[in-house]
Every structure is written in C-alpha cells, then in structure tokens.
Amino acid sequence: MKALILVDIQNDFLPGGALAVAKGHEIIPLVNSLQSKFDVVVASQDWHPEHHASFASNHDNKTVFEVINLHGQEQVLWPNHCVQGTAGASFFSALNTNAVSAIFRKGMHKEVDSYSAFFDNNKTQHTGLEAYLKSMQVTDVYVCGLAADYCVYFTAKDAQNLGFKTYYITDATRYISEDMYNTAVTDLKQLGVTMLTSDEI
C-alpha cells in the first residue's frame, strides 16, 4: 500500500503566515491532485502551546532564527507559529483534506520541538503515525508539504529509517533556507530516499 503524508500545510507556513515559506502556496494544486493516486492519505499538523520553547519570544534576549542549546540539543528559535486552536494552525483553506483519513499533531510538549511527523526531536514520543501506517499495510511512503528543509526532511528521514520505502516529492514542497535544503537532499539521498517529481508518480 502507498501512503501520501501531507506535512504541515497550515496557514502559518503559507505566504502571510507567521513562519511563511516563500512560494508555499505553489504546491497546493499539485498536493490536491496527487491524493487520488494513493491508498492512504494522512496529514501532520504542527500544534504548539503558546509558551513553546522553540519560540524566540519565550527566551530572554534571543532573536528569531538564532540557534540555542535546548536541553542538550541545537534548537532554532522560530517566530510564534501554529499555536493550538489559532487560525495560523489551521490547514490552508485551499488544501483539499477530504481524502485525509487521520491527522497527527506534534509539538505539543512545551520543552521539545517536533519536526518529524513520526517522533519528537528527542525521539522519545511517537505521534502514532508509524503504527497507523503499519496497521494499513503501508510499505511505501511519499512526503510533501512544508517546509522542505525541516518537517518534510525529518519526516522522510524517519520514514526511511523505519523501513518504509520512502519518496520525497521535490516539486510538492518549498524550503525556508536553501542551504538547509541542499544539506537535507544530500542526506536523504545518502540514506536511500528516492527524490522524484510528481509527474513520475
């Protein structure tokens, strides 16, 4: 079975949002039309408490995009984004979610960030996505959404490491930082993730 994971296609990651990914809206028509080609479609949703430790505003004398040490791990400090229950945390209105059978929320623990749709950044808390996909006999996982160099990257990496045959749809994602994106692509290729474009599906 083949699954498509829609990663964090939420208002705050689209132009006009709190942590806008440049040209993020360009992926929407593609993401909508791709869904009919899959047996299973799931979505992840970044879902932070207001006082989340990944927000620069919750640290003294820190600025957005600065990197700090958070409980022994490097942590990029973000603008406040995807706060639980806010409009910014809602799925983008033009995203078709009719085929989405389950939504996996992440980033609820105040002290731990969670880029991947599978685990938090400490790899301690599972979202339930792995068990769900396995219960549906999914063997192949395709990832798309936002942002290419953070949540889509770490979702693809975990999927591959969990034993799913993993595909990263390069034209159905957009990045925050080009440098981070290039690093991510190199890493994913090395791990054996297949990079492909939507016309190859």
What Å distances lie between residue 159 and 94, 148, 182, CA to CA? 27, 15, 19
* Given the residues 82, 106, 149, 158, the one annotated as active site: 106
Helix (H/G/I), strand (E/B), else coil: 198? helix
Q: Minimum Å distance from CB 78 to ligand VGL?
A: 5
Of Zn ion, ligand VGL, none, which one sits near residue 151, judging by CB under 5 to 8 A according to partner kind? ligand VGL
Is residue 7 a contact partner of residue 73, using CB atoms and an 8 Å limit? Answer: no
Give the separation between CA 30 and CA 42, rounded to whole angstroms.
Answer: 16
Should residue 147 be labelled a site residue for ligand VGL when binding is judged by CB under 6 A? yes
8 as an active site residue: the answer is yes
2 as an active site residue: the answer is no
144 as an active site residue: the answer is no
Should residue 146 be labelled a site residue for ligand VGL when binding is judged by CB under 6 A? yes
Give the separation between CA 156 and CA 148, rounded to whole angstroms.
Answer: 10
Q: Minimum Å distance from CB 81 to ligand VGL?
A: 6
Q: Mask 8-47, x = binds ligand VGL (CB under 6 A)?
A: x----x--------------------------------x-
* The pairing of beta strand 40-46 with beta strand 67-70: unpaired
What Å distances lie between residue 121 and 22, 31, 60, 65, 155, CA to CA? 24, 26, 23, 17, 11
C-beta closer to Zn ion: residue 57 or 186: 57
Nearest by Cα to 81 from 112, 110, 49: 49
Query: In sequence order, what are the beta bridge partners of 45?
Result: 105
Q: Minimum Å distance from CB 152 to ligand VGL?
A: 7
Of Zn ion, ligand VGL, none, which one sits near residue 8, judging by CB under 5 to 8 A according to partner kind? ligand VGL
Q: Mask 24-53, x = binds Zn ion (CB under 5 A)?
A: ----------------------x-------
User: Cα angle vertex 126, ends 14, 101, to 5°?
Assistant: 60
Residue nearest to Zn ion (CB): 46
Give the separation between CA 96 and CA 52, rounded to whole angstroms.
Answer: 29
List residues with catalytic annotation: 8, 106, 151
In the complex, the residues that contact ligand VGL under the rule CB under 6 A are: 8, 13, 46, 78, 146-147, 150-151
In the complex, the residues that contact Zn ion under the rule CB under 5 A are: 46
